[in-house]
Amino acid sequence: MSRKTLLLFVVLLMSSCAQLSMPPVPGLAAGDIPAAFDQSAAPAAWPTQDWWQGFGSSELVTLETAAQNANLDVVQADARLRQADARARQAGATLLPTVALNGNVQHFTGTTGSTTGSEGDYFAGIGASYELDFWGKNRAGKLAADASLRASRADHATVALTVSSAVANGYFDLLSLRERSALARDNLGTAQTILTVVQRRVAAGYAPASDLAQARAGVAAQAVTLPALAQQELEARIALAILLGRPPQGFTITADSLAGITAPEVAPGLPAGLLTRRPDLVAAEANLIAAHADIAVARAAMMPNITLTADAGLQNPALNAAILTLEDAGLSLTLGAALTQTLFDGGRLHARTAEAQAREQELLAAYRAAVLAAFGDVEDALGLLVNLSAQERALADQVTQTEGMLRAARRKYTAGGTDLLEVTDAARSLSVARDQLADIHRAHLAASVVLYKALGGGWQQPQQ
């Protein structure tokens, strides 16, 4: 290679490297991160990874542990994470030389006139090749693969958090249905007690026969709710068993109500902390970094590809080159270098770069949208907790007052001071209030789960 050619090559190399330097990854816009959450006045108390311990249910803890080990969505996420790790190791391997054991044997036989000749050639040795990463293509590919691995880890955490939230909600739903079934049986018992009182009054001639028909209709109305609740409880139990990765046959839950299960106190810290505590946001950011690195890979693909090769070993003949041949077996060393440069491809490489740039813009918008949605999730969950707490207190007071109304109405009816309508209205109001209170308590617990999930469930980005 002449000095002029070498100088031209070095100048081209330096200018190309400068052109392929990667700019900073685009980030969030000003104003995307609020200074504080509007609905939170409590001090910072981010949840821990075993947040379900705070509900005070040992059975829920057992279910959560089983789900994290056996849920089939988590198992699939484990496999995807291993795939991403393998891809990252493959990308890292491109930065190192490839070394292989090579061997071949060839036998040649030829005849011309009365002369026959034969020759056996063989080679056994070690070969190595290395692609010079002048333009940073392999380094950018490694960066993209590492970012994808981080995204896969975060996706795995998102799946685990989704499963743990679903298990908690499924458990609360099942116990709430059992609680509502018990209330329905109590309501049925109340209706039957009223029916007994009415039967006595009608038999004694103190009440009309229409009261008896009305009381029997009330008993039937309460009885009809029990099969429907039983079916809902069956469906909830089956769904919970599937979440745990097991068949529903033989699966049982010990607890029969939400009594003793309380929503623990939790409050978020500063909104900026959410960016590293929610795995879906970390995954969106990592995907953006990977897309940014893909642009560098696409740009580098338009530059020359330079590969060095070397083979050394035992060969017969020792040298078999275009001009010189050394007979007999001996040590052999072959060195080579190859340079390839695409001159015309119909614009394919330029189009690939444009595609990578558009992909980056798409993922940037997706990242910003995910961040804004995450802040909205936390605000919604905080507001829901406050409002459900107020509703639960009001309903508890309503149940207490309605119980007193029913007792007073039954005494008045027995003494002949009122008609049956007042008793049945009070009984119906108490039934509705109790059912609403049970549902609000379940919703309050579910809102705590929503907040835990919105805050990332105690997950933190692993140290790199």
Tell me what the pLDDT averaged over the chain comes to. 85
The CATH homologous superfamily of the domain defined by 30-95+135-304+348-454: Outer membrane efflux proteins (OEP) (1.20.1600.10)
Overall pTM > 0.85:
no
State yes or no: pLDDT of 170 exceeds 90.
Answer: yes
Is-cis flag, bond preceding 317, omega within 30? yes
The residue count of the chain comes to: 464
SS3 state at 336 = strand
Residue 353 is encoded by which pair of tokens? 């770069």
450-463: per-residue pLDDT in tens? Answer: 999 999 988 887 76
Annotated domain spans of the chain? 30-95+135-304+348-454, 98-132+306-340
pLDDT number for residue 372: 92
* The two three-digit tokens of residue 133, written as one number: 């990463």
Among residues 228, 254, 249, 226, the alpha carbon closest in space to that of 238 is found at: 249
Using DSSP bridges, classify how beta strands 319-320 and 325-326 pair: parallel, antiparallel or unpaired: antiparallel
pLDDT at 42 over 80: no
Q: How confident is the model at residue 3 (pLDDT cuts 50, 70, 90)?
A: low
pLDDT tops 50 at residue 5:
no
When pLDDT is averaged across residues 53-76 and rounded to a whole number, the result is: 94
Between CA 457 and CA 452 the distance in angstroms is 5
Distance CA 180, CA 17 (A): 71
Residue 322 — very low, low, confident or very high, per pLDDT cuts 50/70/90? low
Using alpha carbons, list the distances in angstroms from residue 364 to 26, 32, 292, 296, 455. 7, 13, 10, 17, 22
> Which architecture does CATH list for 98-132+306-340?
Single Sheet (2.20)
Positive or negative, the CA dihedral 121, 126, 132, 137 is positive
Of 145, 165, 149, 174, residue with least CA distance to 73: 165
73-98 pLDDT, tens digit per residue, is: 999 999 999 999 998 989 988 888 88
Give the mean pLDDT of 163-177: 95
Dump pLDDT digits (tens) for 348-399: 888 988 988 999 999 999 999 999 999 999 999 988 988 988 998 999 999 9
Which residues, 6 or more positions from 227, have their beta carbon under 8 angstroms from its beta carbon? none
Name the pLDDT band for 464 (thresholds 50, 70, 90): low
Task: Find which of 114-128, 174-188, 195-209 is predicted with most confidence, using mean pLDDT.
Answer: 174-188
